[in-house]
Structure 1
């Protein structure tokens, strides 16, 4: 992997000294001794990142992405563009959105390489592709107050609320602003039902949610194998949910509502133990009151230490997915086609799938999850319902139950 910030031959001390924000990542993944400065200097100065990860049997590429995520979030949260400027109005073509944190750096590297030898693109394009952890608030205000003329030409992000709320992307969707110009006639055989039948929205991949089970906390309870199992009263106050990861949490809420009704949402809220960041989730068994079950992005299962009591389960009724959408303006099809084809390409798909465990929709990518099931709400359900309003209702009910008001 081509890291912007460190090499695997760097010592743990070199990395943590230069990027203090990485200390928690190391500590939460089995390197508790790095919490103390004296240990970072003594032990950390003698061990390289590669040696340390091999000793713990932690996947190197995955852990590199974790480190890149936290470093990137800390020092590279301003807009990134091909000319080093932040004024999108200076350019003919504009791209905005969020990329999954673990793959943002390699995806940007690939994109910069793609446009480097295309002067016609390099000199006319500007983009703000921030880390998903930054949230969408910076985009939402622009969408509420803007017009089609001010709208960026391409949007990329996971989730539902941004893309279907009437006051946000929904208003432009109804006006026929967007068109799928990726050129893909069909999606990966795992995702044939994800292709928009109206040809308006595109996708580049998905973020699957799976279960992480703390075997030491089961106390005779059965391992939940499905989302239906997860809603059982047996797991009251025992489930950690990615509440702060709005894209994935909203996908979970809307799918639970569709399949189990508002009662299912209430049961999910009843079972909430706490909300953890995925980097904390993989080491949550060391907490004073560890959750029995953690719902987390599939990506973070690769950081589980083999010797930990944590076991991951792919839900038998399907991993709920948060789609990574890409919206492109129909009026600029000719100018945007090359870019849309790049983001939906096998190259980008393999970055998503192989480096981030975010399965790609590209038909030529082998995701390694061909035997797995997914849970997707479906385009018919989206067409028949106001997704933005449903999400608001689900969120209100979830909070009411969680706060003991219902």
Structure 2
């Protein structure tokens, strides 16, 4: 019988005959193999139903009635329902090297890490991802003991903050004072809940052919000028555009700036697609691309100039959450993640290291960080939705 506390992978393996019922409710994507392997191990049925506003009592009752009517009761499959020890959802430029680095290190110390259950992925798709489910999770046991995540996501939203952060379910693991490169903008969490790991630094890339006789942008506010109408590409697609970019524009210039920026955005692209477009020798698709510093290093077009804004590259956070009371148990993992060697890997991939002994001199001085006062003085989830609505109202009129 199903109670709702089972994870999705368990249900898929134990009751494959019920998957069609989930498909009828529009939940079929969760049961595709690639998604089961990513999030099915530690997402409970009740969480999925709540996030999709499906009455869990009625739906689970209907599932159990089907099971009662089946003559074959041997479908139950023994499976491990243990939660992950470590999950990481990383910026695209970091995922593969970090995963290989972790796997190599863990294999070298089998005694310490042979039982470690981990998942390392790129920052998952916004349409079907782990992040929206966080608003419905009520039990901290549904979460891995150590979580690494990217961007201003649902870990900063009011439901998660009130349910877990403010109640002390997590505590920062910061064995040293942060490297001054990021700490000069007060990057570390003053309340000691989030462990700041690195940042995805966002810069401008300017196609000088497409720019023409317009003035080279120097500050982020320059991108709001009318002469850049329909001339900028940023990360996004369909009805989603990058919050790491939109939130700083709102903070610095208010909601009016969101409409101005929407007029100037030509389209949304993945950063890898931006690189391909900007590298075209016969001219790219936009005058300005907003992309991570890592991806800008792939540019090979002499007509393209990387601009580190004078008011700072935008620092999109990459952080850790460690369950309270788990730091000692996971000390081998945490010491590895926060080590100088890991910091050097980050630095070499053009992500700033927070380790004090790592040299970040290859990065320009100026950093733009939203700040903890902003994150804690706003209902971040609601603000993101308000910004998206204002942006799309203008965008859809184009």
TM range (shorter): 0.7 to 0.9
Matches within 5 A, 1:129-144: 129-132=120-123, 134-135=125-126, 137-140=128-131, 142-143=133-134, 144=136
Cα distance in 1, alignment partners of residues 343 and 201 from structure 2: 15
1:395 maps to which of 384, 388, 392: 388
1:314 shift after superposition: 0.4
Cα distance in 2, alignment partners of residues 245 and 350 from structure 1: 36
Which is further off, 361-370 or 137-146? Answer: 137-146
1:291 maps to which of 258, 263, 286: 286
What corresponds to 2:50 in structure 1? none
| Cα RMSD (Å) | 2.8
Q: Does 1:253 align with 2:215?
A: no
Q: Secondary structure at the match of 2:171?
A: coil
Contiguous gaps of at least 5 residues in structure 1: 1-74, 81-86
Structure with the higher helix share, 1 or 2:
1
Q: Secondary structure at the match of 1:234?
A: helix
Q: How many pairs align?
A: 321
1:170 shift after superposition: 5.1
Q: Secondary structure at the match of 1:320?
A: strand
What corresponds to 2:329 in structure 1? 335
Q: Tell me if the contact between 2:131 and 2:153 (Cα under 8 Å) persists in the aligned partners.
A: no
Scaled by the length of structure 2, the TM-score of the pair is 0.74
1:379 shift after superposition: 1.0
Q: Which has the larger radius of gyration?
A: 2
Contiguous gaps of at least 5 residues in structure 2: 1-33, 40-78
What corresponds to 1:278 in structure 2? 271
Decide whether aligned partners of structure 1 residues 399 and 163 sit closer, same or farther in structure 2, where only a CA change above 3 A counts.
same
What corresponds to 2:96 in structure 1? 105
1:76-117 Cα shifts (integer Å, max 9, x gaps):
99459xxxxxx77346x6212312223323222222233335
1:244 shift after superposition: 4.4
Q: Secondary structure at the match of 1:383?
A: helix
Decide whether aligned partners of structure 1 residues 134 and 368 sit closer, same or farther in structure 2, where only a CA change above 3 A counts.
farther
Cα distance in 2, alignment partners of residues 372 and 88 from structure 1: 48
What corresponds to 1:162 in structure 2? 154
1:261-305 Cα shifts (integer Å, max 9, x gaps):
001111111111111222221232548872111101111111111
Q: Does 1:182 align with 2:177?
A: no
Decide whether aligned partners of structure 1 residues 380 and 76 sit closer, same or farther in structure 2, where only a CA change above 3 A counts.
closer
Cα distance in 2, alignment partners of residues 291 and 349 from structure 1: 34
2:340 maps to which of 346, 350, 353: 346
Q: Does 1:315 align with 2:306?
A: no
Scaled by the length of structure 1, the TM-score of the pair is 0.72
What corresponds to 1:95 in structure 2? 86
Cα distance in 2, alignment partners of residues 246 and 336 from structure 1: 39
Q: Does 1:230 align with 2:223?
A: yes
Q: Tell me if the contact between 1:97 and 1:157 (Cα under 8 Å) persists in the aligned partners.
A: yes
